[in-house]
Amino acid sequence: MYVIEEMTHDDIDEVNAVELRSFPSAWPVSAYRRELRNRRQSFYVVLREDPGASVLTTTPRRVMVDDDSPTRIPFLPFLRRQGGSQRHPIRGFAGMWVLLDEAHVTTIGVDPAFQGRGLGEFLFAALLDEAMQRQTTWVTLEVRVSNMAAQSLYRKYGFTVQGRRPRYYSDNNEDAYIMWSASMKEPAYRERIETLRRDVLRRLSSQFNLEMAE
């Protein structure tokens, strides 16, 4: 099974190797070291293949929103882990910046050998959950204009194209679409994300015949 954990400095070299297998170019390792020094404005995670994980947790936590009343939002879609602290192979990674009331998704990658299993969505849901936990209002990202699969995922989560960055990607000078979420403070949108999160957890649990802890 798989578990998402916050990225540490010890993970950077392995993340870089996965990134090089996944994309035409990769961030320098120094960029990840810089990002991880600023935990208040950045959030980076790794996805590990962990045979010891056996239960998917879906319990939501309560956070305070604008009206100071507790609101149910998704719990980070981590897997409960059983056993010791053994480090298992990294199969994916993701990250974002958080500044004031906006979150900016900077990267999501899954090892090519493990793509097509819903793991990219699993990581994306974790970023959205953290964005809500940090009480952001909006989430934004860039995506290649040719990457229809990623665009489809983001639209599924209520993101829309709001602009275009010419020649954004340095490896081939491809343009990027700028996509934005709906307001994270809207109850209907939070409920939409909650429903989608549960769906991806159910799909992952069915692949491994796991129990879901509601």
Alpha carbon distance 212, 214 (integer Å)? 6
Going by the DSSP 8-state scheme, the letter that residue 210 receives in this structure is: P
Catalytic residue among 6, 14, 142, 174: 142
The letter for the amino acid at 68 is D
Residue 40: CB partners within 8 Å, gap ≥ 6?
Answer: 98
SS3 58: coil
Q: Is 130 a catalytic residue?
A: no
Q: Which among 154, 157, 177, 194 is annotated as catalytic? A: 154
Residue 31 CA to residue 35 CA, distance in Å, equals 6
The single residue listed with the structure tokens 């599924």 is: 156
Looking from the CA of 78 toward its CB, the CA atoms found within 13 Å total: 12
In the residue annotation, 44 being an active-site residue is answered as no
CA–chain centroid gap for 13, Å, is: 19
Q: Find tokens 């769906």 and name the residue.
A: 199
Q: What is the C-alpha separation between 210 and 206, in angstroms, rounded? A: 6
Residues 112 and 18: their CA atoms lie apart, in Å, by: 8
List, by residue number, the catalytic residues: 142, 154
